Amino acid sequence: MIIRKAKSTDANDLKILYFDYLTHFPPKEEQDMMMWQNLLDEFEKDEKMYLLVLEEDGKVVSSIQMAIIKSLTHNVRPFAIIENVVTHVNYRNKGYASALLEKASEIAREHKCYKISLETGSNKESTLNFYRNNGFSINEKHACLKRL
């Protein structure tokens, strides 16, 4: 098992993860994979944007996205936001997403973040329990969404 930042060569594995296992995918329009690769190249170099992947058997089987956001609050300490936590169904219940969340927490601590917010599109109790078991409070804050 290898945890690392995503690279442009991971675009197709990520497309499979996103299209098959994220609740709000697939989009109706065809994806421009060159744009995906370019964005992954940007993420790989960016110290505030993380698309972390877990590689097993030579392919990306789990992923999360995290952004570090500068803030004027908490003595000008940043905060982190996590979204798009996804694991291939054949690799679930092996601790892979938990390992990615722990790596994201390490990165957030290195950046001196005062908190990590995590958003999920799932209301399934098993998903919410997974986040609770990984140290996230479900009832402490509320996310509000406006689709554009």
Quick one: pLDDT at residue 23? 64
DSSP string, 13-47: HHHHHHHHH-TT---SSPP-HHHHHHHHHHHHH-S
Residue with tokens 């905060």: 79
Quick one: pLDDT at residue 107? 97
Is the pTM for the entire model greater than 0.95? no
Listed by start position, the domains of the chain span: 2-133
**Model pLDDT for residues 89-146, shown as the tens digit of each residue:** 999 999 999 999 999 999 999 999 999 999 888 888 998 999 999 999 988 877 777 7
Class of domain 2-133: alpha beta
Let me know if 45 is exposed, middle or buried by CB neighbors in 10 A (0-12, 13-18, 19+).
Answer: exposed
